[in-house]
Chains A and B, each alone.
Chain A
Amino acid sequence: MRFVCFTLMPYRPLDMAERQKYRSAWVVLPNELYDPEKGANEYESYINHLVSAEALGFDVVAVNEHHQTAYGLMPAPNLIASALIQRTKRVKIAVLGRALPLVNNPITIAEEFAMLDNLSRGRMIAGFVRGIGTEYHATGLNPVFSHDRFHDAHDLIVQAWTRPGPFEFESENYNFRYVNLWPRPYQRPHPPIWIPSQGSAETIDWAAHPTRKYPFLVTFSAHDLVARYLNAYRDRAREYGYEPSGDQLGWAVPIYVADTDERARKEAKAGIESLFNEFLNNPWQMLLPPGYTSLGSTKRMMKMRAALGTRPKHQSIDALMESGTALIGSPKTVIEKIEKMREVTGFQNLVSMLQFGVLPDELAKRNIEMFASEVMPRLRG
């Protein structure tokens, strides 16, 4: 199993009483609630946390991109990746991912990854995403064209990495007379591409395609859904006529371990509940702008939403543990849950989020150390 240490870099000093006055911690939350002194401390803490993962034996450290939100302070994740390169030697660095459709010139993304790949001598993993729905409010970009732009941008970036330049690129959404990357990526043919996803059928279909075989990561979902999506990928690959390796299947999940289940629950409670209820929670107008998912998927989701009621209910730590959305407990408990997922899906990439929500540094540190010493060795091999 491959272990990835991932953090969102949430803004923990957020005034939650103020937060509650707004419909979301994204886009509409006034940035006067951000204090740069405290924010600078946050960056320092989180980078230290990720750097510590190398010595603890993780295979990959990972960051990601979100815009205009207290949920994550990385609108430009490649800047963090660049800092991590300078402070690590061996560990791979994954940006999970860059939101391709949000930029008007995807060549800049190809260039940045190529630079990072050279700077790190081939340690980069390039995640490609569309960004979540709120990103389309934050950037103003039309969500209706999101899928098409993603595919066009992907094609452009991969060609920029692999085709001898200069060449001309033409597509519906992007047109360039000259594509000629300096530098070229360090890895040949290019850095591995991973696809984090909420599990849409379109994404699974695309990522599993034999011309791509991109590792697919299911993020923040209940255990059963994660298993269903990972197996959907496996089924799709088989329909395409090949057997996917476990390296193609990944699970991104908040994890907290302590000596006992009770202690883990007590220590993780505030952090995990703030992640799902304060930071991540969004009204559907923000999460599902029209066109962000296909008409069919949107209709299905809206019917599910209607059945559940319009107001999303509070997600308690117990509910999150029960559904397997978060893994919280003693090392034994957490190992069992990961083993169970491995049995039903064969997944090999565990993207562990060991700091989440308002979880303070001290607990995050204890968590990552115990996870590395008590959990990882049992799952290796």
Chain B
Amino acid sequence: MWTMEQHRFRDLGIRSQRAGSGQPVLFLHGAAGLPLWTPFFEAFSKQYDLRVPEHPGFGGSDAPAWIRSVPDMSMYYLDVLDQLDLHGVHLIGHSLGGWIAAELATRNCSRLASLTLIAPAGTRVKGVPSGDNFIWDPEESVRNLFHDQSFADRILSHAETDEEADLALNSRFMAARLGWEPRWVNPALKNWLHRIQVPTLVLWGENDKLFPKAYASTWQDNIPGSRVAFIPESGHLPQVEKPAVTASRILDFLEGK
């Protein structure tokens, strides 16, 4: 089972979910905020010490004025790794979290054993626009994340409490701060991806409506030795829509298979 830990990294209070033991796995969540604990995470906690922190400014974590961009956020997570003194970290990031992970890895890979990016933000392909999740209405915003609409139906049928709505709005504000302009991209990032010197796996849902799967090529072309795999019948959240196949892809990668 997982526990919720309360940390203080630098001067910020940060919540973090944690389960299992072994080599460290750090999962950086996407723009929606701290994810629900799902079978995807269970798959890792059987063999690894899995940590899923909530980014500064998201949900209930402190929002500092000095984190204005994803590069800032990646520097913050380098501080976190130093403070925890972790070594051999398998870093996994989804969407916005993938972008943070990639920025971090271009700066300093010394504490990393591997990098896994699931539908990461941060790069683009000219002429292939991303979806605009800031203009989508609440229903579209959910539906456009999934290939299998039964997932969207389930989420939309859940009536949000006031507290949940407030935490979600905190996350939305912080996501906008990091990703509004330029939209979900750091145009300079691709120029530095060659500095990522750890084994890298890029996963993408075949039917991603937010970040089209064509974006996978920029990562593959620029990160030396990286591998790309597509998850069939999945939208932007393969770890939710296809937890078993997504987890086993990553676990095989971590084990060097």
> In the complex, which residues of chain A have a beta carbon less than 8 angstroms from the beta carbon of B182?
140
Q: Give the chain A neighbours of B137 by CB distance below 8 A.
A: 23, 283, 285, 310
B46 at interface, CB cutoff 8 A: no
B181 pairs with A142, CB closer than 8 A? yes
Name the residue on A nearest B183 (C-beta). Answer: A140
Contact yes or no, A142 B134, CB < 8 A: no
- Cβ of A290: which chain B residues have Cβ within 8 Å of it? 134, 169, 172-173, 175-176, 180
Task: Kindly list chain A residues whose C-beta atoms are within 8 Å of the C-beta of B177.
Answer: 142, 144-145, 291
- A302/B165 contact (C-beta < 8 A), A142-B180, A290-B172 known: yes
For B83-118 the 0/1 string (1 means CB < 8 A from A) is: 000000000000000000000000000000000000
User: Chain A contact residues (Cβ within 8 angstroms of B): what range?
Assistant: 20 to 34
CB distance from B10 to the nearest CB of A (A): 20
Check if B135 sits within 8 Å of A28, measured CB to CB: yes
A10 in contact (CB, < 8 A): no
CA distance A355 to B154 in the complex (A): 48
The reply to whether B166 and A285 contact each other, CB–CB distance below 8 Å, is no
User: How many angstroms between the C-alpha atoms of A303 and B176 in the bound complex?
Assistant: 20
B138 within 8 A of A: yes
**B159 CB to nearest chain A CB (Å):** 11
A299 to B162, CA, bound (A): 10
Contact B169 A289 (CB under 8 A): no
Contact partners of A23 in chain B: CB under 8 A: 135, 137
Tell me, in angstroms, the Cα distance from A286 to B132 when the chains sit together: 11
Task: Decide: A285 near B180, CB < 8 A? Known: A144-B173, A290-B172, A302-B165.
Answer: no
Nearest Cβ on chain B to A299's Cβ, whole angstroms: 6
B-contact bits for A282-325, CB 8 A (1 contact / 0 none): 01011001110001001100110000001000000000000000
Which A92-144 residues have C-beta < 8 A from chain B? Answer: 136-137, 140-144
| Residues in A whose Cβ lies below 8 Å from that of B138 | 285, 310
In the complex, chain B residues 174-213 whose Cβ is within 8 Å of any chain A Cβ: 175-177, 180-183
Q: How many interface residues does B have (CB within 8 Å)?
A: 20
* Residues in A whose Cβ lies below 8 Å from that of B172: 290
Which residues of chain A are within 8 angstroms of B176 by Cβ–Cβ distance?
142-144, 289-291
Determine the chain A residues whose CB is within 8 A of the CB of B183 once the complex forms: 140
B61 at interface by CB-CB < 8 Å: no
CB distance B135 to A295 under 8 Å?
Answer: no
Question: Given the complex, which residues of A lie within 8 Å of B234, measured CB to CB?
Answer: none
B136 part of interface (Cβ distance < 8 Å): yes
CA distance A286 to B170 in the complex (A): 18
Give Cα A92–Cα B180 distance, bound, in whole angstroms: 39
CB <8 Å contact, A285 and B165: no
A145: which B residues are within 8 A, CB to CB?
68, 177
Interface residues in B125-177 by Cβ distance below 8 A to A read 134-138, 162, 165-166, 169-170, 172-173, 175-177
CA distance A143 to B176 in the complex (A): 8
Shortest distance from the beta carbon of B255 to any chain A beta carbon, whole Å: 40
Q: A285-B138, A290-B173, A295-B173 are in contact. List 9 more A-B contacts (CB 8 A).
A: A136-B180, A140-B182, A143-B176, A285-B136, A285-B137, A290-B175, A298-B173, A299-B169, A310-B137
Q: Which residues of A contact B (CB under 8 A)?
A: 23, 27-28, 136-137, 140-145, 283, 285-286, 289-291, 295, 298-299, 302-303, 310
Q: Which residues of B line the A interface, CB within 8 A? A: 68, 134-138, 162, 165-166, 169-170, 172-173, 175-177, 180-183
5 tightest CB-CB pairs across the interface, nearest first? A290-B176, A142-B180, A144-B177, A142-B181, A290-B173
A–B complex contacts, Cβ < 8 Å, 25 sampled: A23-B135, A23-B137, A28-B135, A136-B180, A140-B181, A142-B176, A142-B177, A142-B180, A142-B181, A143-B176, A144-B173, A144-B180, A285-B134, A285-B137, A289-B176, A289-B180, A290-B173, A290-B180, A291-B176, A295-B170, A295-B173, A302-B165, A302-B169, A310-B137, A310-B138
